[in-house]
Amino acid sequence: MVQTADGAVSEVVEVVIDRVISGGLGLAWYEGRTVLVPYAAAGDRLLVQVAPNRRRGVHHGAIVAILSAGPHRIEPICPLYGQCGGCQMQHLSQAASLSIKRDFVVDALRRLARVPAAEAVSCVQPTQPGHTTTGYRQRCQLQLDWQEQQPRIGFHASASHQVVDVNHCAALHPLLNQQLGPLRQWLTSQPSPAATSSRINLACGDSGVAMAPPILTSDPFCRYSLNGFKLSFQVGDFTQVNFTDNQQLVNEVMALAGSGRQALDLFCGIGNFTLPLRQQFDRVTGVELSPASVDRARRNVRHNGLGDISIYRIDLFNPAGTARLTTDPVDCVVLDPPREGALQVSRWLVDRGRIARVVYVSCNPATFARDSAILTAGDFQLRSVQPIDLFPMTHHVELVALFDRKSL
C-alpha cells in the first residue's frame, strides 16, 4: 500500500498485460478488476501502482518495475519518453505497433458498430506502414514556460499542463528541430516571462518554415507537392502532419474514389483531396467550414490552373448546412472530418438516394465506427477499411474506408 499526497491509499500489485487497447494503454486484470497501464506491452509482467479512484470498475495504474518484458517491447529512442506526452508507443516494435493499430479499428467496429467479429477482421486490412518512423512530423505546437527564471520550451507532459523541456524531438522533421535552439535563445533574451507567448505553432513544407506568432524570420506560407500540384498553407490551417505519407493517403483515396462526372469533397480543408479528385472527375465540389481554409483552397485551385472545381463554406455539423448540399447525382463523396466525426453528414448520406460511393477518411476509429453504423443501417455496405500509420510512435491511426450503395 502507498499513501498519496491527499491521504488516499493506492496499491502496488503484480499484473500481466493481456494486450494494448485504444489510447495505447496496456490492459490487465487484478482480482477481478480491470487495470489500464500506459507504456505497457502485451506479455509484460509488471509491478504497477494502482490509483485509488474507481470509475465503473476500471483502475488506472503506473509502472513501478518491469519484472519481465513482453516479446514486442523495445528500448525507446527518446530519453524523455514517458515524461513528454507526445508519444505513447515508442516502447513497441514497429510490427507490433502496426498490428495493434489494426486491432484498434477492428475493436471499434465490433464494439461500437456491432459488426460481427469475423466480418470486422476480414474487412480491416493490415496497417500500411509509413515511409519512416522518425522525423516525419511537419507541424507542431511548442509550449513555452519558465521555471525558476529558466525558460522551458517543448511539449506538455502526459495528462498535464507541465512543460517538458525538449532539445530534440525524434518525431519532428529536421527543419522544425532546427528551430528549437534559436527559439530557446530568443526566449532567454526576453525581459520577463510576461513578455512571451505561451505557445508557438510551427510548420514546414517544400518552401521552408512558417511560424505563428512570427518570432523569428519565417515564410508566411508553406507549400507541399501532391499529384503534380503545389498546395500552399499557413500555420493554423489544417494539414496532415506527415506530408510524405500524406501522398500515400491520397493515393489510397483516389484508388477507391474511382472516376465519373461529379465528386463531393466534404471537410475539404485546403484542397488536399479536392485537387487530385479533379484528375478523375469532370467536376468537383469542396465544402469546408473554416473561412481561412476555404480561402486557401480557392487560391490553390486558381494557382494550379484548375477549372470545374467549386469551394463552398458550409457548416457540415448542422442540418441546415447539409441541406445546402447538391441534390444532383454524385458518383463519389469523399469526407475527411475532424476527430468528432461526421454524424450529420452520415445521416444526410443515408437520406440521399443518388450517391453511389463514399470514401471516408478518419483519424478516430470510435467516431468512424459510430458513423459506419449509421451508413450501414441505411443503404450502404462497408466494403473495406485500410489503416495507415501516419503517426508512428503514437497511438493515433489514420484510416480510409469504402462504402457503396447496395441498391444501385
Cβ–Cβ under 8 Å, residues 91 and 41: yes
Judging by beta carbons within 10 Å of its beta carbon (0-12, 13-18, 19+), is residue 209 exposed, middle or buried? buried
Give the single-character DSSP code of 126. P
Nearest to 135 by CA among 394, 392, 400, 406: 392
| Torsion angles phi and psi, residue 248, rounded to 5 | -60, -40
- Which amino acid type is present at position 384? S
363 is catalytic: yes
In the numeric block, which cell numbers belong to residue 238?
489544417
Distance from the Cα of residue 240 to its chain's centroid: 8
Nearest to 130 by CA among 98, 161, 174, 99: 98
Cβ–Cβ under 8 Å, residues 343 and 370: yes
Residue 269: left if φ>0, alpha if ψ -120 to 50, beta else—which one? left
H-type helices in 145-223, by residue range?
Answer: 174-189
- Which amino acid type is present at position 70? G
Distance from the Cα of residue 398 to its chain's centroid: 6
Active-site entry in 84, 140, 222, 363: 363
Strand ranges across the sheet with 25-30: 2-3, 9-16, 45-50, 58-68, 33-38, 25-30, 19-21
Active site residues: 363
